[in-house]
Amino acid sequence: MKIRFACVLSVLLFVGCGAVDAMKEGFQHSQDVATDMEKAVGMKPFVGFNWVNGSLANVTITFEGIPKGASSQEIAAVARSVVTARFKEAPDQIVISYTLPGKDS
């Protein structure tokens, strides 16, 4: 019984290591996307991502404010290109958002 428990625990630990590596890679990809977006539009966004069953499901790009000098279509085109290049696959969806202060400051 103890041997079975040890085997199951070992398998779970090895599977967990792969998940940790995938998260580290995903985090690095998200930082690379943020840097590339900053170079392209002049404002660094927060980039989040979601993997489902080993497939890139969702990438969220959130800017603090609206980048000056770039239209939404231009930002979307750059985002699609950069996300696909950095994550090495196209996600099911890319969400681009802008946060604005609640009061005029």
| Residue-level pLDDT at 53 | 86
Burial class (CB in 10 A: 0-12, 13-18, 19+), 96: middle
Distance between CA atoms of 52 and 18, rounded to whole angstroms? 14
- Going along the chain, which residue ranges are E strands? 46-52, 55-64, 93-99
Task: For the chain, 105 residues long, give each residue's pLDDT as a single digit of tens.
Answer: 556 555 555 555 555 555 666 677 888 999 999 999 999 999 999 999 998 888 899 999 999 999 998 899 999 999 999 999 999 999 999 999 999 988 866
pTM: 0.77
CA-wise closest residue to 51 among 77, 78, 85, 88: 88
